[in-house]
Amino acid sequence: MSGAGDPLRDAIAPWLERSARHGRAVLLAVSGGPDSSALMHAAAALAHPGTSLRVATVDHGLRPTSGDEVEGVARAADRLGLPHTTLRWTGPKPGSGLQDAAREARYALLSSQAAAIGAGLVLTGHTRDDQAETVLMRLAAGSGLAGLAGMRAERNLAPEIVLGRPFLHLPKATLVAWCEARGIPVLRDPTNADPRFARGRLRDAWPALEREGLSAARLARLAERAARDEAALRSAAERALATALRPGTEQGATLRLDGARLAALPEAVALRCVDLALSRAGAAPRRLDRLEALVLESLLPALRRNAPIRRTLAGILIASDAAATVSLAPAPPRRHPQDAALAAGDPRLLGKGGPPAYIGEVCTDGPAEPGDASIRGPHTPGIDR
């Protein structure tokens, strides 16, 4: 199965070969834009009898023309001899955070469809340009290394189902030109250039950013470096947590850590070690700035001077005693409504004017625009993919 020098076919071939070896179907996520249309046509050209390709289109139902667009994808898939399924996002839509909700719904629908047809692989058409937008938006949001690592070329979507992005290293222009050279009709969403949307404003700014050297290629390279360094730090934190964990529980604590070992760690490792411990204790997703305040401004200084402290974060009570034992246990119920709202992250009390920056792999699937009022409009995410 050779791409014969074709960059798109060369990118897809290893994914299809791997699925064929395992005898699993491949689900292509196709919206009808140039990126996913290129994905569908290139995969169809490479498929052989041992490869079972299926196509799915998610209809978010957010624009009046979405049904017609889905039908167009279905006809294109039929001409290629590929079975097509429409996955509809039904039910009420949120008044805010629409794109995040749509993204979660999209991957949930794709995961369910993959499981239903026995597919072990879901492929999307994300490009290097998408990666650059992701990194730039997360940079603006104040993300740490995990956020700046952007999207992963491969990640687990569900047990035994992998999400793959074979084009993540290719510029979007390559995919557009590939479709144009073959006369492949594609859809274009005009709202992607609408200045009311953060993505549209960002795309307007690209020429100025590139003149200053902030190109998509460099941002993608930053993502690779951040991913490499984050993986090393996370691995070090996992080893540190295994060493710092104390057996048994005390006064209802779910985890007990050796604070002296924690205090001796480099701050970047200690931060991730506590983050892993919080996850193991059942904590909710947490903002990076709040985790930094807990670990760097409270916990580590207290451990280094043998001073006891008690703090809560993401539903977990973190306490250290004079013997440098750190315990993590579910936080007691809040007594007052305002306390409960604060613990839940009520934006009226926290003054959250922008999106949260997480330390872990929370936002992994493309440029998110939380905190931007424009996302409340009737925009279908990712139609140009």
Annotated binding residue 34: yes
Annotated binding residue 35: yes
CA distance 44 to 163: 18
CA distance 357 to 351: 15
Annotated binding residue 33: yes
CA distance 272 to 295: 10
Count CB neighbours of 249 within 10 A.
12
Annotated binding residue 366: no
CA distance 175 to 124: 13
Annotated binding residue 315: no
Annotated binding site for ATP: 31-36
Annotated binding site: 31-36
